[in-house]
Structure 1
């Protein structure tokens, strides 16, 4: 009985989570980090962009393999709701990404974590890219960075 309940919950979660189309950041060497998958939960509309509502909770799940080792990590998410490449609206900053995953990160060892976020009222109602970046604070050229599109609704 419990096995069926767990199976139903896992299947329901798999339906709600959506892999989003990611694009590597222009200012970061994509060979420094392999991003296997990026999922947003919940993500209505799916792959091309997520329809998100302001002040609602969402989870970004990232499965990646860094091609570098690091003890001192930083993480941030920024929105570009002007669609001008500025990425000047903070979505989320994490003081210590090691609270989300085991640290230090080691070269070529796969990692996975979930990041909870909301879009507040400072983000307009429009379609725009969100930039995610995780980097070695001791060497900023060592980074995992990608963008994905969202459409924010009221």
Structure 2
């Protein structure tokens, strides 16, 4: 039987000079892992507990330490801006999460996911909450 396990983070409040630990919220109903820490670079605003300021045409490095409560041979990454009625996916993102973290995952084993996210000039300038999900199919 196939089923999906998901590691999800919502509200990374990117507005994105060194990797700073940022505040985050877990997605409602997603209890398949423990998120220990989320870091974003650049994000000097994190020291004050406010959203990061990110500039179009730059890259943002994000990493998070997590412990999955499931084993998976492969992981898929999905990043989207959360809107009140829908999520808008980041265009052109590499969804092969195993390029950014160790696979296979082992249930109960802490690991780090690290990704450089290009902020394209075509993205509209405004405040966005970001949802980041890693999904494993077993």
Report if aligned partners of 1:78, 1:87 keep a CA contact under 8 Å in 2: yes
> Gaps spanning 5+ residues in structure 1: where?
1-14, 139-154
CA RMSD of aligned residues (A): 1.8
Residue aligning to 2:55 = 53
Structure with greater proportional helix content:
1
> Gaps spanning 5+ residues in structure 2: where?
1-16
- Decide whether aligned partners of structure 1 residues 89 and 103 sit closer, same or farther in structure 2, where only a CA change above 3 A counts: closer
Residue aligning to 1:67 = 69
Q: How many residues align?
A: 120
Describe the superposition over 1:62-117 as per-residue Cα deviations: whole angstroms up to 9, x where unpaired. 1100011011211111113xx42412131563342111222100000000131001
Report if aligned partners of 1:72, 1:104 keep a CA contact under 8 Å in 2: yes
Residue aligning to 1:38 = 38
Residue aligning to 2:109 = 109
**Whole-Å separation in 1 of the counterparts to 2:122 and 2:45:** 23
**Whole-Å separation in 1 of the counterparts to 2:25 and 2:74:** 25
| TM-score of the superposed pair, with normalisation by structure 2 | 0.77
**Whole-Å separation in 2 of the counterparts to 1:137 and 1:119:** 28
Runs of 4+ aligned residues of structure 1 deviating over 4 Å after TM superposition are none
Higher relative contact order (CA 8 A, sep 6+): 2
Q: Who wins on radius of gyration, i.e. which is larger?
A: 1
| TM-score of the superposed pair, with normalisation by structure 1 | 0.70
Report if aligned partners of 2:74, 2:136 keep a CA contact under 8 Å in 1: yes
